[in-house]
Structure 1
Amino acid sequence: METVRRTIPEALLVEILARLPVRSIARFKSVCKRWKSVIESDYIRRLFVSLHRHSSSSWSLMFRTEYCRHITQPIGFHGCETWDLPKSLVSYIMPFQRYPNLPTSEYYFKASSNGLIWIDVFLSRNQNMVYSYKSFVGNPVLQQWVEIPPAPDPWAKSKIPWYQNPFSAVGMVTRVEHGIVSSFKMVRTIQMEMFDRKVEGMYLWRVCVYSSETGLWTIKKLFSTRAVGNYGFDSLNGVLYMWDRFMFCNGPGVLIAHDFYGPEADDQCQIIPLPGVDHKKARRCLTTSVEDVIFIEAIYRRLSVWRLNNEDISERWQLIWEINMPSVVSDVNCFPLAMNPFDSGIVYLWLRQDRCLASGNLRTEEFIVHQESDDWSSSSEGDCCRINNSDTAGHLEEFCNGVVMLSQFVLPRWMDSVPQPPT
């Protein structure tokens, strides 16, 4: 009997694959060369994004860990249609497969951007408190990681000792082309000092910048009229945003921004004053939502939300919400934490007195108090949701002033391979 080999027509194959979750599609790349070619085509990516344009994607709020704390996720959504993950995102990070036997307290979440995550793994420290660690950038769900070479010693030609401070990370930015992350850059602070001590108000900010396009670290000098701290709070479209406020001030402070994919000759940081009022009872946060920088301020029962307007520098901030919160979240120990990355009408709050998380729909002015939950709890949005109140309380119990800046680790609606530096 003659055996006739049957194959699925390519058009039908695309229609079938595009309706599957990203995690499944990524696995099907290994079926054969034909499937790999189909999955890596622009057409299936555009079709997938179109079919899932109304679907949410998995995401988590993450604390940037420092000193000896483990990776903490206050809230995480998974099981979403786009990725269909069986567990929360932080579960894919720990234990880290390159070092599976390392204690979880030695993993440090540094930054994320467009689905990529920067993790530092600490290996040892000597008696002089000099740390030995490795840095990785990748996608924990797909288990694709790029090991980053150590940053160079900027004082190699001088007698000044310089240790790669593991807590000097500022942030990570990405370049997106046709919906795909084509490259990333990591930024570490080397030095922050007054540029000219005779002229007040100008700071020199020296940074090491790693680029996946070259696989190299470079040293860049930037200038700012405000000092830059150790951490940026987030990045959008290649721009890294940081926060600063004068000491002993109750005002909201300023945003410090720099485009690390901008012209190489551009060495000036933007200074963007934040909205809000000078009030010692104000509780504030910086976050992002739907490709916008969002600033939230809560004073007693009044909650105000602004969106950064990059199109009109004469009116930098647009007030998009202003409501009176219900009594369940009305005390002065209510801290705004973040905005939903896909919906600028959903806000997340920390109730310090009750030591628990709350979420609020600003359109309906309905708020829900969330209790501790595991990975299989169902959220009001239909996806699985994990609430971590106990560890969140540990991070926020000492926080009483300033601006809360959590990082949103958001998986994109489509994920290609992690950009690889040249070999």
Structure 2
Amino acid sequence: MDCLTDDLCAIVLARLPLKTSTASKVVCKQWKSIVESPFFRQLFISLHQNSHSCSWSLMYFGTEIMAHYRCETWGLEKSLDFYISSFLKRFKNNEEHYKPAAEVVAYSDVGLVLIHVKPLKEKIHGSLYVANPVSRECVEILYPDALPLGFHETKQDHRMTGIVTRTDDKGVVVSSWSLNTYHLPYSLYLGDHRSAISLINGNLHLLAWKSLLGGGVRVVVSIDFYAGSDRCRVTPFPDSDKTPEFQRACTASQGFLMHMNIVVSEDKLCLWRLQSDGWQLISAIPPVALVSTGFDRPLTINPFDEKTAYFCGKHQKGLLSVNFHNGKFVLHNQLEHSSDDSRIMVSLKVWGYTRHIKQSERSSFVLPQWLHRIPNTVTRV
């Protein structure tokens, strides 16, 4: 390697999994300079752009429901739940005077999480940290004087917590971290929803009711925190005037907000994508697979492949993946499934309990095609 030029050295290192190539920075100053260069980042993403997926997990209040890992891009041998739980354990052990109750309260689509450490007696709010559990980096966020969004809620005052990120045209996280509050219009009710859906470049989506009088209308509240305005966009669900089979919910895939449901009157399993001008119908297929197999409860859509959705059943110990393009489905066993591209999917670790989990309480934690470093002063734990 000492005989290679920097560009040839970059080509060699870029073919390694991301976690390995970034760890190579500690070998010498030359490799550190190469790996941190924009050329290396573009080269790595180009070489790995055809990878079937990055690592991701479907989380429920800190519990991993299902996971994809061992992908080529990151080369992680364990699911993201392992890295999150081990990070929190080390995070707690690093505290000198006490062992706090730390929990993840929000997930992002750039591999970052928001951790809340419950307050001590002398602290009003406790502490908040933005962290990367894979690289074990974190930075503390200072509370403003106002009551933080998501904590100290009352029965009459429902709050929601989310983490918003912004990237530049090269895909690098450029935000400086702060804690802000956003007050929704009085006609919107969050109900019992506790999870916000975060998308790249400052978009945060909340599920709410618009006026509870007369039953209300289920809507998606979209907030762009970097648009320079405190206005939000309220969009009714595309099937709001029809009878759906499932509880209406959303998930993120390929940078868009997605919604799937079965319209009872039309007997179609439909997939919609939220665009700037409203919902766009992507696919509508007969729900024969769900009826015949008994896997009739939606879990999520693949964050890197919008044509693939996952379902569970009330009595089935397994997982069903459905292809929205051709209607084909694959039944996975209760432990794990190895596909042709050597990915591993661990499905439904909480058998019998998963069917009671509300769709609005699930969060996707996604590792992108590049390791996003946390801006501001970073602490490693």
Report the TM-score, using the length of structure 2 for normalisation: 0.82
1:48 maps to: 44
**One-letter code aligned to 1:238:** G
**One-letter code aligned to 2:165:** T
Deviation per CA, 1:371-403, whole angstroms, max 9, x where unpaired?
3226xx523553122112426x4254264xxx5
1:306 to 257, 262, 272: 272
**One-letter code aligned to 1:262:** A
Partners of 1:386 and 1:104 in 2: CA distance: 30
1:172 maps to: 163
Q: Does 1:142 align with 2:142?
A: no
Larger relative helix fraction: 2
CA distance 1:163–1:339, change in 2 (3 Å): closer
- SS of 1:93's equivalent in the other structure is helix
CA contact (8 A) 2:320 2:330 kept: yes
1:385 maps to: 345
1:397 maps to: 356
1:369 maps to: 331
CA contact (8 A) 1:136 1:145 kept: yes
Partners of 1:308 and 1:394 in 2: CA distance: 30
Partners of 1:220 and 1:239 in 2: CA distance: 13
- SS of 1:258's equivalent in the other structure is strand
Q: Shift of the alpha carbon at 1:335?
A: 2.4
1:337 to 296, 299, 320: 299
Aligned pairs for 1:263-302 within 5 A? 263=228, 266-276=229-239, 277-279=241-243, 281-299=245-263, 302=268
1:226 maps to: 188
2:146 to 142, 154, 161: 154
Q: Shift of the alpha carbon at 1:46?
A: 0.9
1:347 maps to: 309
Q: Shift of the alpha carbon at 1:322?
A: 0.6
CA distance 1:125–1:243, change in 2 (3 Å): farther
2:91 maps to: 98
Deviation per CA, 1:311-338, whole angstroms, max 9, x where unpaired?
xx2xx11111111123454589822222
2:77 maps to: 86
2:369 maps to: 413
Partners of 2:355 and 2:224 in 1: CA distance: 30
Deviation per CA, 1:254-311, whole angstroms, max 9, x where unpaired?
1111110111xx121111121014326444330121111111112465311111121x
Q: Shift of the alpha carbon at 1:114?
A: 1.6
**One-letter code aligned to 1:412:** P
**One-letter code aligned to 1:341:** P
CA distance 1:330–1:250, change in 2 (3 Å): farther
Larger relative strand fraction: 1
**One-letter code aligned to 1:272:** T
1:158 maps to: none
1:205 maps to: none
CA distance 1:77–1:63, change in 2 (3 Å): closer
CA contact (8 A) 2:197 2:363 kept: yes
Whose radius of gyration is greater, 1 or 2? 1
Deviation per CA, 1:15-59, whole angstroms, max 9, x where unpaired?
101111110111111112221111111111111111111013433
CA contact (8 A) 2:92 2:102 kept: no
Q: Shift of the alpha carbon at 1:340?
A: 1.1
Partners of 2:121 and 2:314 in 1: CA distance: 35
- SS of 1:285's equivalent in the other structure is coil
1:257 maps to: 222
Q: Shift of the alpha carbon at 1:78?
A: 0.9
- SS of 1:176's equivalent in the other structure is coil
Percent identity for Structure 1 against Structure 2? 29
Aligned pairs for 1:50-69 within 5 A? 50-65=46-61
**One-letter code aligned to 2:172:** V
Aligned-residue CA RMSD (Å): 3.5
1:73 to 64, 68, 75: 64
Report the TM-score, using the length of structure 1 for normalisation: 0.75
CA contact (8 A) 1:64 1:111 kept: no
**One-letter code aligned to 1:382:** S
CA distance 1:217–1:233, change in 2 (3 Å): closer
Deviation per CA, 1:222-275, whole angstroms, max 9, x where unpaired?
646523465423334211111112548778711111110111xx1211111210
Partners of 1:327 and 1:219 in 2: CA distance: 44
CA distance 1:396–1:328, change in 2 (3 Å): closer
2:7 maps to: 11
